[in-house]
Amino acid sequence: MAPTSTTPLSPNETRSSRSSSLCNRLIALLIVILLGGLTAFFNWRVQQLSTQISKEEARIKDLSTEVGSQGDIINRFKGSVSNKDVILRVDNLDKSLKATQANMMELLEATQDQIQALLDSTMQQLDETVAEAKAEIYSEVDHVKSDVDVYVAQTQDQFSVENSFMVYQIAGTFTLISCLISMWHMTAHIRRFNEPFVQRKILAILWMSPIYSTTSWLSLVWPNLEGYLAIIKDFYEAYVIYQFLAFCIAVLGKGDRKAVVDLLAEHAGHLSPPTRFWGCWRKQHFESPWAMADAVLLQCQVFTMQFVLFRPLTTLALFVLARVDYWGGGTPGN
Protein backbone atom coordinates (compact mmCIF):
# COMPACT_ATOMS: atom_id res chain seq x y z
CA MET A 1 0.00 0.00 0.00
CA ALA A 2 1.47 3.20 -1.11
CA PRO A 3 1.84 5.97 1.50
CA THR A 4 -0.62 8.89 1.29
CA SER A 5 0.71 12.32 0.92
CA THR A 6 -0.86 15.24 3.01
CA THR A 7 -1.26 18.66 1.55
CA PRO A 8 -0.38 21.51 3.92
CA LEU A 9 -3.33 23.91 4.75
CA SER A 10 -3.22 27.54 3.88
CA PRO A 11 -3.46 30.19 6.70
CA ASN A 12 -7.07 31.18 5.75
CA GLU A 13 -8.23 27.60 5.90
CA THR A 14 -6.55 27.14 9.26
CA ARG A 15 -8.26 30.27 10.63
CA SER A 16 -11.71 29.21 9.34
CA SER A 17 -11.37 25.75 10.83
CA ARG A 18 -10.51 27.23 14.21
CA SER A 19 -13.50 29.63 14.05
CA SER A 20 -15.90 26.81 13.19
CA SER A 21 -14.61 24.64 16.06
CA LEU A 22 -14.99 27.59 18.48
CA CYS A 23 -18.60 28.22 17.34
CA ASN A 24 -19.41 24.56 17.79
CA ARG A 25 -18.08 24.66 21.34
CA LEU A 26 -20.07 27.82 22.19
CA ILE A 27 -23.26 26.30 20.81
CA ALA A 28 -22.67 23.15 22.84
CA LEU A 29 -22.07 25.23 25.97
CA LEU A 30 -25.30 27.23 25.44
CA ILE A 31 -27.25 24.00 24.94
CA VAL A 32 -25.86 22.64 28.21
CA ILE A 33 -26.73 25.87 30.09
CA LEU A 34 -30.24 25.88 28.59
CA LEU A 35 -30.81 22.28 29.59
CA GLY A 36 -29.61 23.04 33.12
CA GLY A 37 -32.00 26.01 33.42
CA LEU A 38 -34.93 24.01 32.10
CA THR A 39 -34.13 21.23 34.57
CA ALA A 40 -34.04 23.66 37.48
CA PHE A 41 -37.35 25.31 36.39
CA PHE A 42 -39.05 21.89 36.04
CA ASN A 43 -37.81 20.86 39.47
CA TRP A 44 -39.10 24.18 41.05
CA ARG A 45 -42.47 23.79 39.31
CA VAL A 46 -42.79 20.16 40.41
CA GLN A 47 -41.98 21.14 44.00
CA GLN A 48 -44.58 23.97 43.91
CA LEU A 49 -47.24 21.59 42.54
CA SER A 50 -46.40 19.08 45.25
CA THR A 51 -46.85 21.77 47.95
CA GLN A 52 -50.16 22.86 46.48
CA ILE A 53 -51.38 19.23 46.26
CA SER A 54 -50.46 18.74 49.93
CA LYS A 55 -52.43 21.88 50.92
CA GLU A 56 -55.47 20.74 48.91
CA GLU A 57 -55.31 17.30 50.52
CA ALA A 58 -55.18 18.89 53.98
CA ARG A 59 -58.12 21.13 53.11
CA ILE A 60 -60.13 18.14 51.79
CA LYS A 61 -59.37 16.32 55.00
CA ASP A 62 -60.59 19.30 57.08
CA LEU A 63 -63.77 19.54 55.02
CA SER A 64 -64.39 15.82 55.49
CA THR A 65 -63.95 16.22 59.22
CA GLU A 66 -66.34 19.19 59.32
CA VAL A 67 -68.91 17.33 57.19
CA GLY A 68 -68.73 14.43 59.60
CA SER A 69 -69.22 16.67 62.61
CA GLN A 70 -72.18 18.37 60.94
CA GLY A 71 -73.64 14.99 60.12
CA ASP A 72 -73.35 13.98 63.77
CA ILE A 73 -75.11 17.20 64.81
CA ILE A 74 -77.89 16.55 62.29
CA ASN A 75 -78.28 12.99 63.50
CA ARG A 76 -78.53 14.15 67.11
CA PHE A 77 -81.04 16.83 66.15
CA LYS A 78 -83.15 14.29 64.26
CA GLY A 79 -83.12 12.00 67.24
CA SER A 80 -84.04 14.56 69.90
CA VAL A 81 -86.18 17.36 68.30
CA SER A 82 -89.50 17.09 66.44
CA ASN A 83 -91.30 19.66 64.27
CA LYS A 84 -93.60 20.57 67.15
CA ASP A 85 -90.66 21.27 69.39
CA VAL A 86 -89.11 23.40 66.68
CA ILE A 87 -92.33 25.38 66.28
CA LEU A 88 -92.60 25.76 70.05
CA ARG A 89 -89.06 26.91 70.30
CA VAL A 90 -89.59 29.35 67.43
CA ASP A 91 -92.68 30.77 69.21
CA ASN A 92 -90.73 31.10 72.42
CA LEU A 93 -87.93 32.79 70.56
CA ASP A 94 -90.46 35.13 68.92
CA LYS A 95 -92.00 36.00 72.29
CA SER A 96 -88.59 36.50 73.82
CA LEU A 97 -87.63 38.69 70.86
CA LYS A 98 -90.80 40.78 71.27
CA ALA A 99 -90.25 41.08 75.02
CA THR A 100 -86.67 42.05 74.38
CA GLN A 101 -87.84 44.60 71.81
CA ALA A 102 -90.35 46.03 74.29
CA ASN A 103 -87.68 46.23 76.99
CA MET A 104 -85.30 47.82 74.54
CA MET A 105 -87.98 50.38 73.56
CA GLU A 106 -88.68 51.16 77.23
CA LEU A 107 -84.97 51.47 77.91
CA LEU A 108 -84.62 53.63 74.79
CA GLU A 109 -87.49 55.92 75.87
CA ALA A 110 -86.09 56.15 79.40
CA THR A 111 -82.66 56.90 77.97
CA GLN A 112 -84.16 59.54 75.69
CA ASP A 113 -85.98 61.11 78.65
CA GLN A 114 -82.76 61.11 80.68
CA ILE A 115 -80.83 62.58 77.77
CA GLN A 116 -83.53 65.25 77.25
CA ALA A 117 -83.53 66.14 80.94
CA LEU A 118 -79.74 66.26 80.92
CA LEU A 119 -79.81 68.45 77.82
CA ASP A 120 -82.39 70.75 79.43
CA SER A 121 -80.35 71.07 82.61
CA THR A 122 -77.20 71.59 80.56
CA MET A 123 -78.90 74.28 78.47
CA GLN A 124 -80.19 75.97 81.64
CA GLN A 125 -76.71 75.89 83.16
CA LEU A 126 -75.28 77.22 79.89
CA ASP A 127 -77.85 80.03 79.84
CA GLU A 128 -77.04 80.91 83.45
CA THR A 129 -73.32 80.76 82.71
CA VAL A 130 -73.77 82.92 79.61
CA ALA A 131 -75.90 85.41 81.57
CA GLU A 132 -73.29 85.58 84.33
CA ALA A 133 -70.51 85.93 81.74
CA LYS A 134 -72.46 88.68 79.96
CA ALA A 135 -73.09 90.49 83.24
CA GLU A 136 -69.43 90.16 84.16
CA ILE A 137 -68.36 91.33 80.70
CA TYR A 138 -70.75 94.30 80.88
CA SER A 139 -69.45 95.18 84.35
CA GLU A 140 -65.87 94.92 83.09
CA VAL A 141 -66.76 97.02 80.06
CA ASP A 142 -68.43 99.62 82.28
CA HIS A 143 -65.40 99.58 84.55
CA VAL A 144 -63.08 99.99 81.59
CA LYS A 145 -65.29 102.76 80.18
CA SER A 146 -65.26 104.54 83.52
CA ASP A 147 -61.48 104.16 83.68
CA VAL A 148 -61.19 105.46 80.12
CA ASP A 149 -63.52 108.36 80.92
CA VAL A 150 -61.46 109.19 84.00
CA TYR A 151 -58.27 108.96 81.96
CA VAL A 152 -59.75 111.11 79.19
CA ALA A 153 -60.96 113.65 81.75
CA GLN A 154 -57.54 113.70 83.41
CA THR A 155 -55.85 114.01 80.03
CA GLN A 156 -58.21 116.78 78.98
CA ASP A 157 -57.64 118.51 82.30
CA GLN A 158 -53.90 118.19 81.81
CA PHE A 159 -54.15 119.52 78.26
CA SER A 160 -56.46 122.27 79.50
CA VAL A 161 -53.97 123.18 82.20
CA GLU A 162 -51.13 123.19 79.68
CA ASN A 163 -53.18 125.22 77.20
CA SER A 164 -54.32 127.54 79.99
CA PHE A 165 -50.73 127.97 81.10
CA MET A 166 -49.76 128.85 77.53
CA VAL A 167 -52.68 131.28 77.34
CA TYR A 168 -51.62 132.76 80.68
CA GLN A 169 -48.09 133.19 79.36
CA ILE A 170 -49.19 134.83 76.11
CA ALA A 171 -51.75 137.08 77.83
CA GLY A 172 -49.24 137.95 80.58
CA THR A 173 -46.61 138.78 77.97
CA PHE A 174 -48.92 141.19 76.14
CA THR A 175 -50.12 142.61 79.47
CA LEU A 176 -46.52 143.28 80.49
CA ILE A 177 -45.74 144.83 77.10
CA SER A 178 -48.78 147.13 77.27
CA CYS A 179 -47.87 148.14 80.84
CA LEU A 180 -44.28 148.88 79.84
CA ILE A 181 -45.38 150.96 76.85
CA SER A 182 -47.88 152.91 79.00
CA MET A 183 -45.26 153.41 81.73
CA TRP A 184 -42.79 154.67 79.15
CA HIS A 185 -45.31 157.24 77.91
CA MET A 186 -46.24 158.24 81.47
CA THR A 187 -42.59 158.66 82.51
CA ALA A 188 -42.02 160.75 79.37
CA HIS A 189 -44.88 163.08 80.41
CA ILE A 190 -43.63 163.20 84.00
CA ARG A 191 -40.11 164.13 82.87
CA ARG A 192 -41.59 166.96 80.79
CA PHE A 193 -44.43 168.05 83.01
CA ASN A 194 -44.79 171.45 81.32
CA GLU A 195 -48.61 171.67 81.24
CA PRO A 196 -49.90 169.94 84.38
CA PHE A 197 -53.54 170.84 83.73
CA VAL A 198 -53.53 168.87 80.47
CA GLN A 199 -50.93 166.24 81.27
CA ARG A 200 -52.67 165.09 84.43
CA LYS A 201 -55.62 164.07 82.29
CA ILE A 202 -53.29 162.35 79.80
CA LEU A 203 -51.72 160.37 82.66
CA ALA A 204 -55.18 159.37 83.89
CA ILE A 205 -56.05 158.16 80.39
CA LEU A 206 -52.73 156.30 80.01
CA TRP A 207 -53.41 154.42 83.25
CA MET A 208 -56.36 152.77 81.46
CA SER A 209 -54.17 150.34 79.53
CA PRO A 210 -52.29 148.88 82.56
CA ILE A 211 -55.43 148.70 84.69
CA TYR A 212 -57.58 147.16 81.94
CA SER A 213 -54.92 144.62 80.84
CA THR A 214 -53.96 143.68 84.42
CA THR A 215 -57.55 143.12 85.55
CA SER A 216 -58.30 141.12 82.39
CA TRP A 217 -55.24 138.91 82.93
CA LEU A 218 -56.13 138.38 86.60
CA SER A 219 -59.70 137.46 85.57
CA LEU A 220 -58.24 134.91 83.15
CA VAL A 221 -56.00 133.36 85.82
CA TRP A 222 -58.57 133.50 88.67
CA PRO A 223 -62.07 133.36 87.12
CA ASN A 224 -63.73 133.49 90.55
CA LEU A 225 -62.43 137.05 90.96
CA GLU A 226 -63.81 138.22 87.62
CA GLY A 227 -66.81 140.03 89.15
CA TYR A 228 -64.70 142.05 91.57
CA LEU A 229 -62.09 142.88 88.93
CA ALA A 230 -64.83 143.85 86.45
CA ILE A 231 -66.07 146.47 88.95
CA ILE A 232 -62.60 148.01 89.14
CA LYS A 233 -62.18 147.89 85.37
CA ASP A 234 -65.60 149.36 84.51
CA PHE A 235 -65.36 152.07 87.20
CA TYR A 236 -62.04 153.23 85.85
CA GLU A 237 -63.38 153.01 82.29
CA ALA A 238 -66.17 155.46 83.24
CA TYR A 239 -63.59 157.69 84.92
CA VAL A 240 -61.41 157.61 81.75
CA ILE A 241 -64.39 158.65 79.59
CA TYR A 242 -64.96 161.62 81.89
CA GLN A 243 -61.25 162.45 81.82
CA PHE A 244 -61.22 162.28 78.02
CA LEU A 245 -64.01 164.86 77.78
CA ALA A 246 -62.16 167.01 80.31
CA PHE A 247 -58.98 166.52 78.27
CA CYS A 248 -60.74 167.76 75.11
CA ILE A 249 -62.07 170.84 76.94
CA ALA A 250 -58.64 171.45 78.46
CA VAL A 251 -56.91 171.23 75.07
CA LEU A 252 -59.49 173.29 73.15
CA GLY A 253 -60.33 175.93 75.76
CA LYS A 254 -57.68 175.62 78.48
CA GLY A 255 -60.45 174.38 80.81
CA ASP A 256 -62.86 177.19 79.94
CA ARG A 257 -66.18 175.89 78.55
CA LYS A 258 -67.06 179.25 76.99
CA ALA A 259 -63.78 179.23 75.05
CA VAL A 260 -64.59 175.77 73.71
CA VAL A 261 -68.04 176.91 72.60
CA ASP A 262 -66.52 179.91 70.86
CA LEU A 263 -64.06 177.64 69.05
CA LEU A 264 -66.84 175.25 67.99
CA ALA A 265 -69.00 178.17 66.84
CA GLU A 266 -66.32 179.12 64.34
CA HIS A 267 -66.78 175.67 62.74
CA ALA A 268 -70.53 175.37 63.20
CA GLY A 269 -70.95 174.30 59.59
CA HIS A 270 -69.20 171.01 60.33
CA LEU A 271 -71.31 170.24 63.40
CA SER A 272 -74.33 167.95 63.36
CA PRO A 273 -77.41 169.13 65.25
CA PRO A 274 -77.81 167.51 68.66
CA THR A 275 -80.19 164.58 69.10
CA ARG A 276 -83.69 165.34 70.37
CA PHE A 277 -85.71 162.73 72.25
CA TRP A 278 -88.92 164.75 72.42
CA GLY A 279 -90.22 166.45 69.33
CA CYS A 280 -87.56 164.82 67.16
CA TRP A 281 -89.86 165.08 64.13
CA ARG A 282 -89.63 168.84 64.27
CA LYS A 283 -86.66 170.61 62.81
CA GLN A 284 -84.42 172.43 65.28
CA HIS A 285 -83.68 176.13 64.82
CA PHE A 286 -80.77 177.85 66.55
CA GLU A 287 -80.52 181.59 66.92
CA SER A 288 -76.79 181.61 66.15
CA PRO A 289 -73.86 179.28 65.50
CA TRP A 290 -72.78 179.87 69.09
CA ALA A 291 -76.12 178.51 70.37
CA MET A 292 -75.72 175.39 68.18
CA ALA A 293 -72.15 174.86 69.39
CA ASP A 294 -73.30 175.24 72.98
CA ALA A 295 -76.08 172.69 72.42
CA VAL A 296 -73.64 170.20 70.86
CA LEU A 297 -71.14 170.53 73.71
CA LEU A 298 -73.95 170.25 76.27
CA GLN A 299 -75.13 167.04 74.60
CA CYS A 300 -71.59 165.62 74.72
CA GLN A 301 -71.36 166.43 78.43
CA VAL A 302 -74.80 164.89 79.14
CA PHE A 303 -73.98 161.69 77.24
CA THR A 304 -70.61 161.46 78.97
CA MET A 305 -72.11 161.88 82.43
CA GLN A 306 -74.79 159.38 81.47
CA PHE A 307 -72.10 156.78 80.67
CA VAL A 308 -70.16 157.70 83.82
CA LEU A 309 -73.32 157.11 85.88
CA PHE A 310 -74.85 154.06 84.19
CA ARG A 311 -71.69 152.06 83.47
CA PRO A 312 -70.85 151.46 87.16
CA LEU A 313 -74.53 150.85 87.96
CA THR A 314 -74.90 148.16 85.27
CA THR A 315 -71.65 146.54 86.40
CA LEU A 316 -72.82 146.45 90.01
CA ALA A 317 -76.22 145.07 88.94
CA LEU A 318 -74.55 142.32 86.88
CA PHE A 319 -72.29 141.46 89.82
CA VAL A 320 -75.21 141.23 92.26
CA LEU A 321 -77.34 139.14 89.89
CA ALA A 322 -74.43 136.76 89.28
CA ARG A 323 -73.93 136.38 93.04
CA VAL A 324 -77.60 135.44 93.54
CA ASP A 325 -77.39 133.11 90.49
CA TYR A 326 -80.08 134.88 88.49
CA TRP A 327 -79.67 134.90 84.69
CA GLY A 328 -83.04 136.13 83.52
CA GLY A 329 -84.37 132.69 82.55
CA GLY A 330 -81.23 131.78 80.63
CA THR A 331 -77.99 130.06 81.50
CA PRO A 332 -74.53 131.52 82.23
CA GLY A 333 -72.85 132.50 79.01
CA ASN A 334 -76.10 132.61 76.97
Burial of 243 (0-12, 13-18, 19+ CB in 10 A): buried
The whole-number pLDDT of residue 182 equals 92
pLDDT at residue 3 tops 50: no
Q: Which 3 state secondary structure label does DSSP give 271?
A: coil
pLDDT at residue 4 tops 50: no
pLDDT at residue 281 tops 70: no
181 CB contacts (<8 Å, ≥6 apart)?
209
pLDDT at residue 280 tops 90: no
Higher pLDDT, 280 or 231: 231
Give me the chain's average pLDDT, please.
81
Per-residue pLDDT band for 1 (boundaries 50, 70, 90) equals: very low
Is pTM, for the whole model, over 0.95? no
Closest CA to 295 of 272, 278, 279, 277: 272
For residue 312, CA distances in Å to 92, 303, 317, 322 come to 123, 15, 9, 15
In this prediction, residues 75-102 reach a mean pLDDT of 74
Question: DSSP labels for 135-200?
Answer: HHHHHHHHHHHHHHHHHHHHHHHHHHHHHHHHHHHHHHHHHHHHHHHHHHHHHHHHHT-S-HHHHH
Higher pLDDT, 117 or 253: 117
Percent of the chain with pLDDT over 70: 84
Percent of the chain with pLDDT over 90: 15
Q: Which of 25-34, 61-70, 185-194 has the lowest mean pLDDT?
A: 61-70
- φ/ψ of residue 278, rounded to 5: -115, 130
Q: Dump pLDDT digits (tens) for 212-264.
A: 999 999 988 888 888 889 899 999 999 999 999 888 888 888 877 888 888 87
Contact 325, 241 (CB under 8 A): no
Task: Report the distance separating Cα 149 and Cα 12, nearest Å.
Answer: 122
Q: Identity (one letter) of the amino acid at 58?
A: A
> Nearest 5°: CA angle at 275, between 274 and 278?
130
Task: Report the distance separating Cα 300 and Cα 241, nearest Å.
Answer: 11
Q: Which 3 state secondary structure label does DSSP give 207?
A: coil
C-beta neighbour count of 147 within 10 angstroms? 10
pLDDT at residue 8 tops 60: no
Q: Which of 87-91, 117-121, 181-185, 304-308 has the lowest mean pLDDT?
A: 87-91
Q: Which of 44-48, 245-249, 264-268 has the lowest mean pLDDT?
A: 264-268
Best mean pLDDT range from 5-9, 270-274, 299-303: 299-303
Q: Dump pLDDT digits (tens) for 181-200.
A: 999 999 998 998 888 888 88
Helix H, strand E, coil C: the string for 47-98 is: HHHHHHHHHHHHHHHHHHHHHHHHHHHHHHHHHHCCHHHHHHHHHHHHHHHH
334 CB contacts (<8 Å, ≥6 apart)?
327
Higher pLDDT, 239 or 331: 239
In this prediction, residues 74-90 reach a mean pLDDT of 67
pLDDT at residue 98 tops 60: yes
